[in-house]
Amino acid sequence: MISLYLAERTWLHGIPAGWKLIALALISLAMTPLDNLPIMVALNVATLALYASLGRAAMAQIALLRPMWPLFAILLALHWWNGDIRLGLIVSLRILAMMLLANAVTMTTRMDAMMDAIEPVLTPLGWIGLSPRAVALAVAMMIRFVPLLFALWEALNEAYRARTGKRGGWRLLSAFCIQTLRLSHHTAEALAARGGAPRGPRR
């Protein structure tokens, strides 16, 4: 799986995940009510400086925002139509900076560190009988299912191509659903045979 995580260690990697999340939340709360163009420009400059300080691989991730350009164009056009292009610019810059800042946290935090940082927030789930460990199991199972489902789709596609010479596309969906549900039955049985999903909060 392609990851957004930067393997190369930077100074931001060293800061605990919890602090980064809190900082992100605070910046977001502070910036949302502001509609001041110079501040938004400054925020973007600061964000770009942050990326520059993280090295070349981080700068390359800015390109991930490319699919967003049409949306920004529509946004600016609609604000311009309403006669307030300045507001359009402010809003676009705010969204741009916040997305980049949030991505900087993702880029420099391992998924397991993020999971550990979030775990205290999951504790209330225990009160309704859902163990945080069951959540962790579901996360792990989901991540494991993704490549498995890809392989399953490829197998169905190959079989379809062998029969018809064409790509299956949406025609494979029903077969895919049935096959995946069968897969889920086997997984559930295997899980039950090993004692089932964790229930209690204790390890």
In angstroms, the CA 18 to CA 130 distance is 23
Q: Which of 12, 15, 41, 91 binds another protein (CB under 8 A)?
A: 91
Query: Nearest Cα to 151, choosing from 189, 190, 111, 183?
Result: 183
Start-to-end Cα distance in the chain: 29
Q: Which of 15, 39, 41, 118 binds another protein (CB under 8 A)?
A: 118
CB of 53 to another protein, least distance (A): 18
In angstroms, the CA 126 to CA 133 distance is 10
In angstroms, the CA 200 to CA 129 distance is 8
In angstroms, the CA 156 to CA 179 distance is 10
CB of 177 to another protein, least distance (A): 5
Q: Which of 141, 158, 161, 164 binds another protein (CB under 8 A)?
A: 141
Where does this chain bind another protein (CB under 8 A)? Answer: 1-5, 24, 28, 35, 64, 67-68, 71, 74-75, 78-79, 81-82, 87, 91, 95, 98-103, 105-107, 109-111, 114-115, 118, 129-130, 134-135, 137-139, 141-143, 145-146, 148-150, 153, 169-170, 173-174, 177-178, 180-185, 187-188, 191-192, 196-197
